[in-house]
Amino acid sequence: MKFLSNFYIVLFFGLFILASCNKETPVIENEEEVIVGLSLELTPENGVDRKVFSFIDLDGDGGEDPTILGATLEANTTYIASINVS
């Protein structure tokens, strides 16, 4: 009887060990979208003379340098911002 009891204990632990072995999970590639353009539009609260800042990098990482365009902000002015990502 003790042999049968030991057999079940060994069988239980053997099945437990086999069941706990992990199969190799497949690697899911997360392909990221490259941002090639960014535009920031700042409009003063009075609505006159909006300022546009832009960043354009058509070839993505590496290659040629990006094109960056800017403007000068006025002192003591509150702006409303709008962002466009492409």
How does pLDDT run across 25-38, given as a tens digit for each residue?
A: 778 787 778 888 99
Torsion of CA 48, 53, 58, 60, to 10 degrees: -150
Residues in the chain: 86
pLDDT attached to residue 12: 75
- pLDDT band at 51; cut points 50, 70, 90: very high
pLDDT given at position 79: 94
CA-wise closest residue to 81 among 37, 35, 45: 45
More confident residue, 58 or 5: 58
Residue 55: predicted pLDDT: 94
Q: How high is the pLDDT of residue 14?
A: 73
Question: How much is the pLDDT for 81?
Answer: 95
Local structure of residue 86 (DSSP, 8 states) = -
Which helix (H) or strand (E) segment holds residue 19: the answer is helix 2-20
